[in-house]
Amino acid sequence: QKEVEQNSGPLSVPEGAIASLNCTYSDRGSQSFFWYRQYSGKSPELIMSIYSNGDKEDGRFTAQLNKASQYVSLLIRDSQPSDSATYLCAALGGYNKLIFGAGTRLAVHP
């Protein structure tokens, strides 16, 4: 079992819709979680971090964390074609190692 799991997609949504990206993790000791966006051929870029249960909003992005269910999600409201990228979920696990999921490819079509 992989430590951080994501649906590889592609997740296809129309422009203006809400994109919902999900991630589960296996290490109950993980306390910090991150969402990175990676455009094709580019390096990952941090878009959200979340440390406490509940929701954290930043512009069009909302991260949600449920530690009891070991579940993290990212909502992108009013999706734009420029949001088309691979979204990587990462968990800070034991021994202070950042563990990444395989990523979900998001495609926003006009």
Give residues in contact with other proteins (CB under 8 A): 32, 42-46, 49, 51, 88, 90, 92, 95-103
Q: Which is nearer to other proteins, 14 or 59 (CB)?
A: 59
Distances (CA, A) of 1 to 8, 64, 83, 97, 103: 15, 23, 29, 17, 16
* CA dist., res. 41 & res. 98, Å (int): 21
Q: Which is nearer to other proteins, 24 or 44 (CB)?
A: 44
Least Å from the CB of residue 86 to other proteins: 10
Q: Which is nearer to other proteins, 30 or 64 (CB)?
A: 30
Of 78, 97, 85, residue with least CA distance to 19: 78
